[in-house]
Chain A
Amino acid sequence: MAHVKGLKCRECHRPYPAKPLHVCEFCFGPLEVDYDYAALRRVVTRRAIEAGPPSIWRYQALLPVDGEAAVGHACGMTPLLPAKNLAAVLGVRECYLKNDAVCHPTLSFKDRVVAVAVTKALEFGFPVVACASTGNLANSVAAHAAEASLRSVIFVPADLEQSKIVGTLVYRPTLVAVDGNYDEVNRLCSEVADKYGWAFVNINIRPYYAEGSKTFGFEIAEQLGWRAPKHIVVPAAGGSLVTKIWKGLKEFQALDLIPEVRTRMYVAQAAGCGPIVNAIKADSETIRPVKPKTIAKSLAIGNPADGYYAFKAVKESGGGGEHATDEEILEAIQLLAATEGIFTETAGGVTVAAARKLVAQGVIPRDESLVISITGNGLKTQEALAGVLPAGLTIKPTLKAFDEALAAHEAAERGA
């Protein structure tokens, strides 16, 4: 950890050692990793990064780990795709999708933060890793813990999608389904973390864990040919991802890896759980918690811990925020699939729907570069589309049956 000076309170700037701590003892502000940027300037270059592995670990100098990456060697460097068909529908000139629906190994951006958190948990010598999760984090912690041969204990709301449950249980963690919403699960976990000496990735390991999200922004800038886009739309649950993408771009600028950052950051949330977007629209830095009610369960955090910083990143960058209703989320999932052949989960539907509205409102200009963040995979939230998609054709194994079925199908399509 040559380039980490320690931890620092984001609010009162009190310094702390680089230990498993997450809250300032004095003001309760969150602790953040404090780097020696002067030293980093001497070692971090475009060439050094390009010579690194095709994963998040090419940015290891800007991540808070001491030694080699212990897990997640294939994590990150997901595609940044020019989305011409979607751009045509949205009516923008230059649109890209940063597609973490194919992040290794559990198909969401959470693999980035967990690869860092589990590496850090091993460095600290914890025997158990744990988390509170809306699903994607559960999958990722269980998978990385298996790779690290650590025991894992995963807390989730009991009403989670079946594929997120199966996609956790397969790694054989201790899965605890809690009869309550995520905010209640999280609160329980803060008490569990107090009592049991485990590495809770989103609690006592949080300062390290959260740094992993910077790699989402690093990759966008590197993949665009070492420049930041003009607009990035990011889904928000706890609000950490948008905050860290913004931090990552600023770090790249400070290290002279990219020209001055003029990116505007936008937060996308579900209409049924949008406390950060509510604050952005009201231009009030007070985040009022809400009781979540949305099909976008991975974003259903009513009391976002990093909401205040997400708000600040948006305002500082001159960006904005938009909500998506459940109906708009389902339409947007299908729009992305139909235009770009990408199946995203409900959170991706929120992001695409919000981006579409922001362009339609003229908030995002049509002639500037836009990156839409796809953070999860549609195979994990299939229930959301139940009854929405038309059925396929079911036939006997004869050519005649096929001819008739196809003719009827095409006639129905013409009629529709």
Chain B
Amino acid sequence: MSVLVRIPTPLRNLTQGQAEVKIEGASIGELIERLDAKYAGLKDRLCEESGSIRRFINVYVNEEDIRFLQGTATPLKPGDAVSIVPAIAGG
């Protein structure tokens, strides 16, 4: 019973090149801790020292930005898909 996490290119050197990994976690915060336990160093790359997610990273749960949900407290259920996407310019 796990969650699918899509890993962006700059982090794949930490996941042995895997673009998607499966992991358990009841919330985004817990998911990041478990990712870090399995792929050491991931949390440092995703989070500021304060623990909040870095400014230029967008995290989505099933297509919705977690800033519209409950941030790192956003709950997860089995089968959810989490995407980690660097911010993109536009117009």
Instruction: Report which A residues bind B (CB closer than 8 A).
Output: 11, 22-30, 110, 132-134, 136-137, 182-184, 186-187, 189-191, 194, 202-203, 206, 209-210, 237-238, 240, 288-289, 291, 298, 301, 303-306, 308
Contact = CB atoms under 8 A, between A and B. Distances in A.
Nearest to B90: A238
Contacts of B56: 11, 23, 27-30, 305
A306 B67 contact: no
A110 B90 CA distance: 10
Contacts of B88: 132, 186-187, 189-190, 202-203, 206, 305
B65 interface: yes
Contacts of A30: 56, 87, 89
A305 B86 CA distance: 9
Contact of B60 (A11, A24, A29, A187): A187
B78 interface: no
Interface residues of B, number: 22
Which 7 A-B pairs give the minimum distances between C-beta atoms?
A305-B87, A25-B10, A238-B90, A28-B56, A23-B86, A305-B89, A202-B89
A132 B85 CA distance: 15
Contacts of A29: 55-56
Given A11-B56, A23-B86, A288-B67, A194 B91 contact: no
A237 B90 CA distance: 8
A202 B60 CA distance: 20
Given A28-B56, A184-B63, A288-B67, A238 B86 contact: no
B54 A27 contact: yes
A288 B83 CA distance: 19
Interface in B53-89: 54-58, 60, 63, 65, 67-68, 83, 85-89
